[in-house]
Amino acid sequence: MRPDLDYIEHWITNGSHVLDLGCGDGSLLALLHQRKQVTGYGMEIDTQNILACVRQGVDVIHQDLNEGLDDIDDQSFDTVIMTQSLQQTHKPDRIVEEMLRIGKQAIVTFPNFGHWTVRSYLALHGRMPVSENLPYTWYDTPNIHFFTFRDFEVLCRERNIKILERTVVDRNHQANWKINLMPNLMGEIALYHITR
């Protein structure tokens, strides 16, 4: 199981109604259902992932998140989650706004483009960084909007979004003193728990 899911679990209230945007094979929802008795849905664009969800009894809706979430009523979910997909959407700021329109709270996780390896790769090689955590070349990457933790926090400030909690970890989803000291330089993945 992906270790970031463990962190997310702590931010979810028992029995809440949850929407997982880009839910993949449904692991997170299956876990949250089992441990937190949540209800709700995943949204996913990939057919094989959708089939994996259906097989394990996770309710999943086929939806391209870039086409918007207009159909969903305001505040109809307790928590809207998006793990490791925000950087892949056409309008990430719009998605975050929408998550907080349809959900009372949101949980967002994303890779940090401000990590020191990324910064030094670009500085030293003069080329777009490719690493274990960001394995794609610039022309075929699904990650079309790169941003750093600081960028995200600036966005939250500008849009009056309140950050309830933040966890910054390395690629193995471990936190350490270096990350705690200089998160935007040392952290690879951030998990944000936000609300209005």
Partner 1 sequence: MPTEIPADSVGLIQPQSAFFEEALPLRCGRSLSDYTLVYETYGTLNADASNAILICHALSGHHHAAGFNSVEDRKPGWWDACIGPGKAIDTNHYFVVSLNNLGGCHGSTGPMSQDPDTGRPYGPDFPIIAVRDWVKSQARLADRLGIDCWHAVVGGSLGGMQALRWSIDYPDRLKGCAVIASAPKLSAQNIAFNEVARQAIVSDPDFHQGRYFDHDTRPKRGLMLARMLGHITYLSDSSMREKFGRDLRTGKLNFNFDADFEVESYLRYQGENFSDQFDANTYLLMTKALDYFDPAGDHDGDLARCLSQAHCRFLVASFSTDWRFAPERSQELVRALTRARRQVSYLEIDAPQGHDAFLFPIPEYVALIEGFLGSLATAEGAA
Nearest distance from C-beta of residue 9 to partner 1, angstroms = 14
For residues 25 and 79, give the distance between their C-alpha atoms in angstroms, rounded to a whole number: 19
For residues 28 and 64, give the distance between their C-alpha atoms in angstroms, rounded to a whole number: 19
Nearest distance from C-beta of residue 54 to partner 1, angstroms = 4
> 20 vs 55, 101, 151, 167, 177, CA distance in Å?
17, 15, 23, 19, 31
Q: Specify the length of the chain in residues.
A: 196
Nearest distance from C-beta of residue 144 to partner 1, angstroms = 23
Beta bridge partners of residue 107, listed in sequence order: 81, 193
Between 63 and 167, CB nearer to partner 1: 63
Which residues here bind partner 1, judged by CB under 8 A?
A: 17, 26, 29-30, 32-34, 38-41, 47, 50-51, 53-62, 71-73, 76
Nearest distance from C-beta of residue 55 to partner 1, angstroms = 4
